[in-house]
Chain A
Amino acid sequence: MRGRAHQYLGFGLVGLLLLVILTGFVWLPYDPLAIDLDNVLAPPSWAHWLGTDQFGRDVAARAMLGARISAFIALQTVALTVLAGLIVGLASGFLRGWTDRILMTFSDALLAFPGILLALSLIAVLGQSRHSIVIALSIAYLPSVVRVVRAAALSIREREYVEASRAAGDGPLYTVWRYVLPNALPPVLIIATSLFGWVVLSESALSFLGVGVPAPAPTWGNMLSSARPYMASASWLSIAPGLCIVATLLGINMLGDALRDRLDPRNAA
């Protein structure tokens, strides 16, 4: 029963996030970039639900646009990481031998760097833009996906249905495409959901550190960052984006758990 409540909460929170993002396309309470110097640091009110920041910009509107930007960056990063991870992981796990050794050495080397530091230095090289955030985070998170895919591929390649495919005369590419890939997908799907959560968090952290999405475009991270000096006097500035991050992570992780339960063959009817 407890598990059920978890699942519903997860679906609910992620649904809410989607709703906020979709609403943001057709309606925002204010222009999130419009500066209104008469209304600086206004506390939450009927006019400004979540208050305004130091330039008088509406916090609710900025949080809604921020959700869109954060989610898009996370989606792009997850897609890129999973795609690259599948290719590298399948090659490594299915071919074994030298390919495996070389790829895993690279992957282990990447893994040895703290993710956020690696992303920081990559952005320093690539220049500060949305694309470089996506590329930097994808590279930083690649090893974790590669490991999962490789482990799955290693165990699947020993299954007799893979041998049966060889015995039937199928080439290795076809065998991987038809037999290894589909059976390696469930664990990848699970890691993809938690990856989404990590990327939202990392992107916020990068923005907080000032190397994320360039101003004036809002993200939850750079909203938090610019709210720091006003933590005591205008706490609403940090509470709103902070809560958004927490709710999103919570929802995504619960969704991931539900997905894991669903995909676990032991729970299949």
Chain B
Amino acid sequence: MTDALLQVSGLRIEADQPGLAPLLEGLDFEVAAGERLAIVGESGSGKTMATRAIPGLLAAGVHRAAGSIRFEGEELTALEERDLRAIRGAGIGMVFQEPMTSLNPALTIGKQLAEGLKLHRRLDDAEIRRRCIDMLRRVQIADPERCLAAYPHEFSGGMRQRIMLASVLMLEPRLLIADEPTTALDTLSQREVLELMVALTREMGTALLLITHDLGLVAQYTDRVLVLEKGVLVEAGQTREVLAAPKHPYTAKLVGSLPRPGDGGATGGGGDVLLSIEQAVVEYRGKPGLFGAGAPKRVIDGVDIAVRSGEIVALVGASGSGKTTLGRAALGLKELAGGMVRFDGVDIAAMDRRQERDFRRAAQIVFQDPFSSLAPHLRIGEIVGAALRHVPGLTAAERAERVTRTLEEVGLAGYERRRPHQMSGGQRQRVAIARAIVSRPRLVVADEPVSALDLTIQKQVIELLQALQRERGFACLFVTHDLAVVEQVADRVVVLEKGRIVEEGATAAVFANPRHDYTRRLLAASPALAIAEGSAS
């Protein structure tokens, strides 16, 4: 046991402010050399803090109150800041969640990669350059020479995370701490980055400590797993055993919230066509050159979709496929460059004032990010009530009554006087749903309504949306990249790639027998489905 690479015992983290409960209590765990260990838990479980404490990088406002952290037999908690710095990077590498902010936008990739090597190793410039190119090649950057001279903004999120990985692994650390490294990426890049991370760490004999809230990733990529709940370790063991037979109720709840095929099941609406998108084209103005605007970029290119009343149609695709834009266009929030959108047979671009008012009331939207979709200065009652502003013939009392009843329906009875910042992400998304349904719409566009939420909360919100849909029978255009959710809720699925429909059909049929290659890749990249299938067989 003494030959563990990292040995954490009795770790306790407290807030500087006295009188608060400890944020992390009595945490013990070990990582053997070359092992892949996952720490899972929902936001607020202390998983990030536990790993930040290892190289002494706790955020301001919290501190380590007790416990020992031994890395390669050396007690890190006894080290001076200067000696810790030598271990960070060279001994323990870290990859963070946000690839958009963890690279310095003002420096070229080459400079940033070289920085670590200059700090920790004595090498001449030519050798540094050679190593950088070599490492970039290993993380599968297509043109490493050009990449060195480029700036971070020239790369996509997935590429940046790979560059980040390269810069960390170049120092050949013995332990790599990856804190939600792919949460900000779409499903396809998520898979690529993780596979790369696993392959490279295996090759280099680096141990991997993966922090995540996504059990699907844990199942696919790690040997052992620790489950944290509210700062306490509730379960630990071999990944396979823990996921197949969770002992602690919290773990069981986490495993149970994974969307599984065959859950719920769609209601199978089939009324008249309510919304029909015909040959829709959406363009964005191109990057303006020195003189005049550049060529327009087509993000939606001739798409036809029909949604019948009472039906749930899922619109899926990776990020950049145009699915969000199409959802906006369906409500007239993005202008079409060609084609048209009809609601109840009427072209929404050619509506008169009355028709437009009725359309706005009958077609609602739930946005992805509950932190940006609720106006921070208003109270919940006002936010939900704002959707009733254009409903004719309602007195103020009737309006308040509708708001109260709708909040009850979404499980937020008595929240009228609260403000958005006093609520959790899941509660906020319930408010967003209440706002969408309070005017009794016939169509709701749900734009990735759960992708910003924790897994267990995701499940609750999806179930709420489903229950409301069943009860009220509104049609729903469900935009998502999460195929597991699609399988759970949608009657039909439309797969979008680069602004065109590549496949569509009844959900069960598409999932059982995907015809297009892109659909197959999306399905394969959905880790939650993989473990659901694994545990079923």
Do residues A159 and B360 form an inter-chain contact, with CB atoms below 8 A? no
A160 to chain B: which residues have CB within 8 Å?
367-369, 372-373
Do residues B361 and A169 form an inter-chain contact, with CB atoms below 8 A? yes
Q: Is the CB of B377 closer than 8 A to any CB of chain A?
A: yes
Cα distance, A160 to B324, chains bound together (Å): 13
Do residues A168 and B386 form an inter-chain contact, with CB atoms below 8 A? yes
Cα distance, A183 to B377, chains bound together (Å): 7
Q: Is the CB of B485 closer than 8 A to any CB of chain A?
A: no
> Which of B357, B364, B372 has the most A CB atoms < 10 Å from its CB?
B372
CB-CB contacts below 8 Å: A162-184 with B: 163-170, 178-179, 182-183
Cα distance, A161 to B386, chains bound together (Å): 11
Q: Is the CB of B390 closer than 8 A to any CB of chain A?
A: yes
In the complex where A163-B333, A163-B367, A164-B365 touch, is A169 in contact with B390 (Cβ < 8 A)? yes
A164 to chain B: which residues have CB within 8 Å?
365, 367, 373, 435
Q: Is the CB of A1 closer than 8 A to any CB of chain B?
A: no
Do residues A182 and B361 form an inter-chain contact, with CB atoms below 8 A? no
Q: Is the CB of A34 closer than 8 A to any CB of chain B?
A: no
Which of these, B331, B390, B421, contacts A268 with CB under 8 Å? B421
Distance in angstroms from A116 CB to nearest chain B CB is 34
B360 to chain A: which residues have CB within 8 Å?
167-169
Which of these, A166, A168, A178, A183, contacts B376 with CB under 8 Å? A183
Cα distance, A164 to B333, chains bound together (Å): 10
B331 to chain A: which residues have CB within 8 Å?
167
Cα distance, A268 to B372, chains bound together (Å): 17
Distance in angstroms from B332 CB to nearest chain A CB is 9
Cα distance, A198 to B162, chains bound together (Å): 49
> Which of A163, A165, A167, A182 has the most B CB atoms < 10 Å from its CB?
A167
B375 to chain A: which residues have CB within 8 Å?
159, 161, 178-179, 182-183
Do residues B377 and A182 form an inter-chain contact, with CB atoms below 8 A? yes
Distance in angstroms from B281 CB to nearest chain A CB is 21
A268 to chain B: which residues have CB within 8 Å?
421
Distance in angstroms from B30 CB to nearest chain A CB is 36
A265 to chain B: which residues have CB within 8 Å?
376, 421
Distance in angstroms from A205 CB to nearest chain B CB is 37
A183 to chain B: which residues have CB within 8 Å?
375-377
Do residues B386 and A166 form an inter-chain contact, with CB atoms below 8 A? no
Do residues B387 and A168 form an inter-chain contact, with CB atoms below 8 A? yes
Do residues A167 and B333 form an inter-chain contact, with CB atoms below 8 A? yes
Cα distance, A164 to B356, chains bound together (Å): 15
Which chain B residue lies CB-closest to A159? B372
Cα distance, A179 to B377, chains bound together (Å): 8
A165 to chain B: which residues have CB within 8 Å?
386
Q: Mark A33-77, 1 if CB is under 8 A from B, else 0.
A: 000000000000000000000000000000000000000000000
A182 to chain B: which residues have CB within 8 Å?
375, 377
Cα distance, A266 to B241, chains bound together (Å): 42
B368 to chain A: which residues have CB within 8 Å?
160
Q: Mark B18-34, 1 if CB is under 8 A from A, else 0.
A: 00000000000000000
Which of these, B356, B372, B376, contacts A169 with CB under 8 Å? B356
Which of these, A159, A167, A169, A178, contacts B365 with CB under 8 Å? A167
B387 to chain A: which residues have CB within 8 Å?
168
Q: Is the CB of B374 closer than 8 A to any CB of chain A?
A: yes
Q: Mark B343-380, 1 if CB is under 8 A from A, else 0.
A: 00000000000001100110111011100111111000
Cα distance, A235 to B365, chains bound together (Å): 70
Q: Is the CB of B389 closer than 8 A to any CB of chain A?
A: yes
B357 to chain A: which residues have CB within 8 Å?
169
In the complex where A168-B389, A170-B389 touch, is A161 in contact with B372 (Cβ < 8 A)? yes
Q: Mark A235-269, 1 if CB is under 8 A from B, else 0.
A: 00000000000000000000000000000010010
B376 to chain A: which residues have CB within 8 Å?
183, 265
Taking A161-B383, A163-B373, A165-B386 as known contacts, 6 extra A-B pairs with beta carbons closer than 8 A to each other, sorted by chain A number, are A161-B375, A168-B360, A168-B364, A168-B390, A182-B375, A182-B377
Please list the residues of chain A having a beta carbon within 8 angstroms of any beta carbon in chain B.
159-161, 163-170, 178-179, 182-183, 265, 268
Q: Which 9 A-B pairs have the closest CB atoms?
A: A169-B360, A160-B373, A160-B367, A161-B375, A169-B390, A182-B377, A160-B372, A159-B372, A167-B365
Q: List 20 A-B contacts (CB under 8 A).
A: A159-B373, A160-B372, A161-B372, A161-B375, A163-B367, A163-B373, A164-B365, A165-B386, A166-B333, A167-B363, A168-B386, A169-B356, A169-B389, A170-B389, A178-B375, A179-B375, A182-B375, A182-B377, A265-B376, A265-B421
Please list the residues of chain B having a beta carbon within 8 angstroms of any beta carbon in chain A.
328, 331, 333, 356-357, 360-361, 363-365, 367-369, 372-377, 383, 386-387, 389-390, 421, 435, 439
